């Protein structure tokens, strides 16, 4: 498993399985993951695993797609949470030597309200 898309898909599978040791094997020791929407940076394999391990129970990850361009894999996932609805994430991962070395993830909270009325004539709700 050396293709970046394979590494990223397997990382999500291992996180979903809560197999933290196996998930850690797919992260470089010095991995850095940024979450721009909250201006947080997670440094190091152990911290990335700890954030995921300690996320409140009741979630399921659905991998919607994984695309690859060179050493970068982009994933789109939906995370269904029994208490909070469905979160979506677009994640951009740089993979080196079969491990994620860097990531930038854009997480979207579940909808909390109606969209603005000004654009209603051009869009449809789903």
pLDDT at position 84 is 87
Provide the domain limits for residue 65: 4-110
Q: Is residue 29 part of a domain?
A: yes
pLDDT at position 4 is 98
Q: Is residue 126 part of a domain?
A: no
Q: Is residue 50 part of a domain?
A: yes
85-96 β-sheet, strand order:
40-43, 27-35, 99-108, 85-96, 72-81, 59-69
Whichever domain contains 49, its CATH number is 3.10.450.50
Residue 4: burial class (beta carbons within 10 Å; 0-12, 13-18, 19+): buried
Q: Is residue 119 part of a domain?
A: no
Q: Is residue 120 part of a domain?
A: no
Domain count, the chain: 1
Q: Is residue 125 part of a domain?
A: no
DSSP string, 76-111: EEEEEETTTEEEEEEEEEEEETTEEEEEEEEEEPPP
- Asked if pLDDT for residue 60 goes beyond 80, the answer is yes
pLDDT at position 102 is 98
For residue 96, the Cα-to-chain-centroid distance in whole angstroms is: 18
Q: Is residue 118 part of a domain?
A: no
Q: What Å distances lie between residue 111 and 65, 74, 80, 81, 125, CA to CA?
A: 21, 23, 13, 13, 12
Q: Is residue 22 part of a domain?
A: yes
Q: Could you give the CA distance from residue 71 to residue 80 in angstroms, rounded to a whole number?
A: 29
pLDDT > 90 in the chain, percent: 87
- Asked if pLDDT for residue 114 goes beyond 90, the answer is no
């Amino acid at each position: 498993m050396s293709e970046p898309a394979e590494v990223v898909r397997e990382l999500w599978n291992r996180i979903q399985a809560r197999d933290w040791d196996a998930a850690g094997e797919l992260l470089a020791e010095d991995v850095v993951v940024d979450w721009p929407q909250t201006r947080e940076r997670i440094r190091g394999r152990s911290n990335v695993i700890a954030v995921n391990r300690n996320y409140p129970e009741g979630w399921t990850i659905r991998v919607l797609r994984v695309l690859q361009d060179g050493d970068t894999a982009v994933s789109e996932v939906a995370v269904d949470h029994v208490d909070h609805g469905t979160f979506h994430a677009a994640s951009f991962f740089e993979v080196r030597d079969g491990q994620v070395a860097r990531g930038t993830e854009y997480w979207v909270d579940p909808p909390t309200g109606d969209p603005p009325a000004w654009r209603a004539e051009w869009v449809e709700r789903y």
